[in-house]
Structure 1
Amino acid sequence: MAWISLLVAGVFEVVSVLGMNRIKRDRDAKAYFLFCAGIILSFVCLSFAMRSLPMGTAYAIWTGIGTVGGTLVGMLFFGESREWRRILFMAMILIAAVGLKLIS
């Protein structure tokens, strides 16, 4: 259950990044709500996951999901660069996260 909570926390981290992007563009109440809800739910799920998982592992995987997810959202929906080196480094982050799971 902790791993599922950690995955959900990472998804909410990406939601908060979308909120930040909307705040940058729109500065409306919905954008602030999206950001605040995403970050609060992300931290709640992360803290639940950290009851069972080591702090270092949980935090590393949470930030990895947020980093890769935010980058993918930027590439798919906001026209950010799709250069092969960006994709390579995202794959390296995912490999590191899988490695942490395997040894936890």
Structure 2
Amino acid sequence: MEWFFVVVAGLFEMAGVAMISQFNKKRGLLQLILLIAAFAASFFFLSLAMVVLPMATAYAVWTGIGAAGGVLVGMYFYGESKDWKRVLFLSFIVISAVGLKVVSS
């Protein structure tokens, strides 16, 4: 269940990063509330995962999901570059997060 919590925390991290972009475009109360809620949920689920998982592993996978997800959100929703080099290094992040999960089972 702890790995589920890490993934959910990472997804909320992605949502929080997307809301930073939205907040920078339109500084409204709704955008601010959604930004804070997304990061709060992210930290909550990360804390649940860290009850069982080592801090270093949980944090690395969480940040990997957030970073990779942030890049993907930028590419597909905000028109950022989809250059093959960006995709290559993005895959390194994903491979590293999966590798940490495999060796931490």
TM > 0.5: yes
Matched with 1:15 is 15
Q: Can you list the C-alpha shifts for 1:19-52, whole angstroms capped at 9, x where unaligned?
A: 1011100000111011000000000000000001
Distance 1:58 1:36 in 2: 21
What are the ranges of 5 or more consecutive residues in structure 2 without an aligned counterpart?
none
Q: TM-score, normalised by structure 1?
A: 0.98
One-letter amino acid of the structure 1 residue matched with residue 73 of structure 2: V
One-letter amino acid of the structure 2 residue matched with residue 8 of structure 1: V
How many residue pairs match? The answer is: 104
SS of match in other structure, 2:80: coil
Distance 1:39 1:54 in 2: 21
SS of match in other structure, 2:100: helix
Matched with 2:95 is 95
Distance 1:77 1:15 in 2: 12
Distance 1:98 1:17 in 2: 21
SS of match in other structure, 1:66: helix
Distance 1:47 1:15 in 2: 18
Matched with 1:65 is 65
How large is the RMSD of aligned CA atoms in angstroms?
A: 0.5
Q: Is 1:34 the equivalent of 2:7?
A: no
Shift of 1:87: 0.3
Matched with 1:55 is 55
Q: Can you list the C-alpha shifts for 1:41-83, whole angstroms capped at 9, x where unaligned?
A: 0000000000010100000000000000010000001000001
What are the ranges of 5 or more consecutive residues in structure 1 without an aligned counterpart?
none
Q: TM-score, normalised by structure 2?
A: 0.97
Distance 1:24 1:13 in 2: 17
